[in-house]
């Protein structure tokens, strides 16, 4: 199943089974390529603090900006999945960690880079903002994802 691309010029495709029971490709309007850094250790030495590079890589969050379709299907899929992860009335909590990948394509639809994210977890989904002030306003929604690490596969 593939969600319809409303922008027609989107060159970012995010594929995952995180939001549904099957792999779905989503056309993304904006995406970040998450940075990473090292942890550090501060050590006191006489009258100053010194920093030493640690041995842990720290990955920044993945943030995706989706265009929301007229029936709000993409938004509903994500919300329903998040609510199923935490059944408030039953007191259950499902920890869903799945993988997904982000592809960036050039103008000829050739893959420039493919990044696979391992153990994806939903952190949050932003509000949908509706307005009657403009005519053909495109509604978008950002989702923030955490993950253990990523691999550049292409």
pTM, 2 dp: 0.76
Alpha-carbon distance 38 to 148, whole Å? Answer: 14
pLDDT for 6 equals: 47
Helix (H/G/I), strand (E/B), else coil: 7: coil
Q: Report domain extents, the chain.
A: 12-34+59-152
CATH architecture of 12-34+59-152: Roll (2.30)
- Strand partners of residue 52: 41
Per-residue pLDDT of the chain (154 residues; tens, 9 = 90+): 444 454 445 588 899 888 777 788 888 888 999 999 988 888 887 888 888 888 889 999 999 998 888 888 888 888 887 887 777 666 565 666 688 999 988 877 788 889 999 998 888 899 888 777 767 777 888 999 999 999 998 7
């Amino acid at each position: 199943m593939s969600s319809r691309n409303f922008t027609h010029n989107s060159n970012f495709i995010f594929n995952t089974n995180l939001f549904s029971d099957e792999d779905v490709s989503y056309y993304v309007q904006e995406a970040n390529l998450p940075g990473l850094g090292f942890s550090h250790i501060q050590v006191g030495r006489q009258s100053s603090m010194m920093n030493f590079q640690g041995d842990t890589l720290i990955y920044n969050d993945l943030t995706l900006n989706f265009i929301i379709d007229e029936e709000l299907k993409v938004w509903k899929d994500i919300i329903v999945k998040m609510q199923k992860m935490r059944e408030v009335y039953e007191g259950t909590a499902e920890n869903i960690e799945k993988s997904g990948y982000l592809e960036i394509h050039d103008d000829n639809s050739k893959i420039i880079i493919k990044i696979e994210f391992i153990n994806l977890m939903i952190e949050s989904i932003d509000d949908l903002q509706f307005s009657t002030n403009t005519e053909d306003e495109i509604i978008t929604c950002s989702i923030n994802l955490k993950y253990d690490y990523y691999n550049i596969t292409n």
